[in-house]
Structure 1
Amino acid sequence: MEKSEIKNTVLDVLNEITGTDLADQMNVNLFDTALMDSMATVEMLLQLQEKLGIDVQISEFDRNEWDTPEKIVDKVSGMLQ
């Protein structure tokens, strides 16, 4: 899967969860800005698992590695290689 497809999927999921179009805010901290909380994080991971086939255990989730849309795209891209 191309990185652009991953980016679009991640942005679609984040838009659905946060109600915010983050395409122009790829480096915004989702937690510091209160766009995401722990429940939203679980929902995001479940949707990404369903749509992209990744498997992230909540116990292995490091918020600092997933705190911006850009980091999420990079993390998911790495998992799909």
Structure 2
Amino acid sequence: MAKVSKEKAKELILDMLEDICGDDIVRENLDINLLEEDLIDSLDYVTLLMDVEDQIGVVLAPSELKREEMDTPNKIISVVQSRM
């Protein structure tokens, strides 16, 4: 797998979130709470983690992350970039 830049990772994550949530608001408001707005559920969350691993090469185990650490696009991007 080719190394992904942090900027490219951000775009990939936003693409994933837009696809999973079915709403481009995730690009317009990076601080929207995905859980409170019912844009993502537990199954979607697992899909996102698998997509991050497949496309970016960062492994995120659901058990090691609290929901509050991954409830906005900005937080998700930050966590993934911090592990690159």
**TM-score greater than 0.5 by the shorter chain:** yes
1:8 alignment partner in structure 2: 11
1:9: how far off?
Answer: 0.5
Unmatched runs of 5 consecutive residues or more in structure 2:
none
TM-score when scaled to structure 2?
Answer: 0.89
Q: Please give the alpha-carbon distance, in whole angstroms, between the structure 1 residues aligned to 2:17 and 2:56.
A: 14
Unmatched runs of 5 consecutive residues or more in structure 1:
none
Identity score, percent: 32
CA displacement 1:44-77 (0-9 Å, x = unmatched) = 0000110001111121121111000001111100
Question: RMSD between aligned alpha carbons?
Answer: 1.0
Q: Does 1:19 align with 2:22?
A: yes
Q: How many residue pairs are counted as aligned between the two chains?
A: 80
Runs of 4+ in structure 1 off by over 3 angstroms are none
Task: Tell me the amino acid that sits aligned with residue 6 of structure 1.
Answer: A
**Secondary structure in structure 1 of the residue aligned to 2:28:** coil
Q: Please give the alpha-carbon distance, in whole angstroms, between the structure 1 residues aligned to 2:48 and 2:13.
A: 9
Within 5 A, what are the aligned runs for 1:47-66? 47-66=51-70
1:3: how far off?
Answer: 2.7
**Does the 8 Å CA contact 2:18/2:27 hold for their aligned counterparts?**
no
Q: Please give the alpha-carbon distance, in whole angstroms, between the structure 2 residues aligned to 1:70 and 1:27.
A: 6
**Secondary structure in structure 1 of the residue aligned to 2:79:** helix
1:33 alignment partner in structure 2: 37
